[in-house]
Amino acid sequence: MEAVEITCMIVDDEPMAVNLVESYVDKTPYLALKKKCNSAIEAMQFLNTEKVDLLFLDIQMPDLTGLEFSKMLSKETRVIFTTAFDQYALEGFKVEALDYLLKPFDYAEFLTAANKALDWFTLVKGKTTTTKVSEAKEFLFVKSEYKQLRIKLADVLYFEGLKDYIKIWLKDNPKPILTL
């Protein structure tokens, strides 16, 4: 599998928050920090000349909020919000943020968000994997009961929708698999 490197930038007006996120980025092998900015204006100036894949972006900042700034970004630049305010979560996902980390967050939460970004960039950048394309089409991967399950499509009898969940009924399994 070809390694994916995600270039990133931290945009936050709180120096302690910048230092914490920077320490997490340094621990994560596929993240490459290109710049730390104290404001969205500074970040915008940097992005006029440089390209970055991912922003770790605070929401409440002077002059231009992270939400306002995120609406100005190119579609190729993805955002993970890092904020102390949970009331902006819905708005954050309306701008297609990959994740929303509520301060204070630990490395495990950060890594979960970074892994979402890795999955997204791996798919978008079309990196090849060790799985053959024809073999990949024969399987479906779902998360159920805190586990990733690989389901052979030939074994699926039918799918049943239940509001936010889906039941997957299989040939040789009397109980369905329930996934969000």
Any idea which of 18-32, 131-145, 162-176 has the lowest mean pLDDT? 131-145
For CATH 3.40.50.2300, the residue range(s) in the chain are: 6-124
Residue 168: which pLDDT band, with cuts at 50, 70 and 90? Answer: confident
CATH numeric code, 6-124:
3.40.50.2300
Looking at residue 133, its pLDDT comes to 38
Looking at residue 126, its pLDDT comes to 59
Instruction: Give percent above pLDDT 70 in the chain.
Output: 88
Query: For the whole model, what pTM was predicted?
Result: 0.66
Q: Exposed, middle or buried by CB within 10 Å (0-12, 13-18, 19+), for 109?
A: middle
- Tell me the residue ranges of DSSP E strands in the chain: 6-11, 31-37, 54-57, 78-83, 99-102, 139-144, 147-152, 156-162, 165-170, 177-179
Q: How far apart are CA 108 and CA 24, in angstroms?
A: 10
pLDDT tens-digit series, residues 30-75: 899 999 999 999 999 999 999 999 999 998 888 888 888 888 888 8
